[in-house]
Structure 1
Amino acid sequence: MIKALLCMLNIQHDWHTEHADDGALYRRCKRCGKDDDRGGGGTGTFGAWAG
């Protein structure tokens, strides 16, 4: 219940990477379904590790 509240208040989301129909990557919250509008193509904190 508290996690859903954090999503509604836009404080904390549970982001995961999705694939668009055109093959692009984006991030979506598992709990509320909101798309990440910050950009970054789903790299998040792991982008630094991509080789």
Structure 2
Amino acid sequence: MLSWALTFLIIALVAAVLGFGGLAGTAAWAAKICFIVFIILFVVSAIAGRRTPTV
């Protein structure tokens, strides 16, 4: 998921440099959404991994 966020970020930066404002905004929005989902899944997996199984 983090790799998708970085990919969309690079696409947004290249599009912004080339003057494609609409595409840059959309790619930046997609990068932000992917990064937020990555952070949420990371926190959930970190919390779930710290739990000890009860017998």
TM-score (norm 1): 0.23
In terms of Rg, which structure is larger? Answer: 2
TM-score (norm 2): 0.23
Q: Which is strand-richer, 1 or 2?
A: 1
Q: Which of the pair has the greater relative contact order for Cα pairs under 8 Å at 6+ separation?
A: 2
